[in-house]
Amino acid sequence: MVTDNTVNVDFDAANELLRGKEATAIVQWATDVFGEYLVMTSSFGAQSAVMLHLCTQVVPRLPVVFIDTGYLFPQTYQFAEQLQQRLNLNLKIYQSPISPARMAAIYGPLWESTNKQDLDRYDRIRKVEPMQHALAELGAKAWLAGLRRSQTDYRAGLRFVESQGGIAKIYPIINWTPKKVHEYLVKHDLPYHPLYEKGYKSIGDWHSTESLGGDDHERAGRFKGLKQECGLHLPQTPEEDQSRDSSSL
């Protein structure tokens, strides 16, 4: 429950409760527990229409946080506009206070580096810090996200509900397969991102996203293959990482 603007959730009990529940029931549980302190995020990537449709069917005016890095594909901005109009999204757009031009002038083209520290700095400036600002400004205590276990090694160990930086993270479609995602899109006549049919299975910034062959892992085309995560969904402190390890997640 949320009391006095703080989160008080028994995560083990919550995950046991949600085991076997449909995705919409998980969203409804999150709404019942967190109320106005609940938000969701969307990258407006390849299959983002699934979570946007699913969550807003349960909570029509749910705040949808969109982190605009300034380096997204033109098709991503167009896709976001299309879905905002179709689904009447309560879209909240956040950006880094450091413009892309200023960042490049100070640090150089970080995205071209093969040094993971440079890529991490890029992600922190353009994605992680704007997300932290969004959560703080919106007073969020819980965050719905469309992570799936099949996407990355890290995500394979996640449960339906986790804790990250004092925020409850809820993953309604964590156990969905690519087949189930496709079936949902077809059933509700929802579009894939325009670049999906050109081989872009996971879509981020234009300079660090590549098209893939049919047998490649869906996030193999991100970050030059040097990493799978941008940092938004990773533990923010060593203590969080240790807590996950100790619970066999």
Q: Supply the residues annotated as catalytic.
A: 230
Residue 103 CB partners (closer than 8 Å, separation 6+): 96, 110, 122, 125, 126
Amino acid at site 164: Q
H-type alpha helices, 60-200:
74-87, 100-107, 116-123, 129-138, 178-187
Residue 9: helix, strand or coil by DSSP?
Answer: coil
Residues 15, 19, 21, 24, Cα dihedral to 10°: 30
Q: Which residues pair with 64 in a beta bridge?
A: 40, 91
Q: Which residues pair with 142 in a beta bridge?
A: 38, 168
CA dist 248 → 5, 19, 156, 242, 244 (Å): 29, 17, 12, 10, 6
CA-nearest of 165, 123, 125, 124 to 143 is: 165
Amino acid at site 65: V
Amino acid at site 232: L
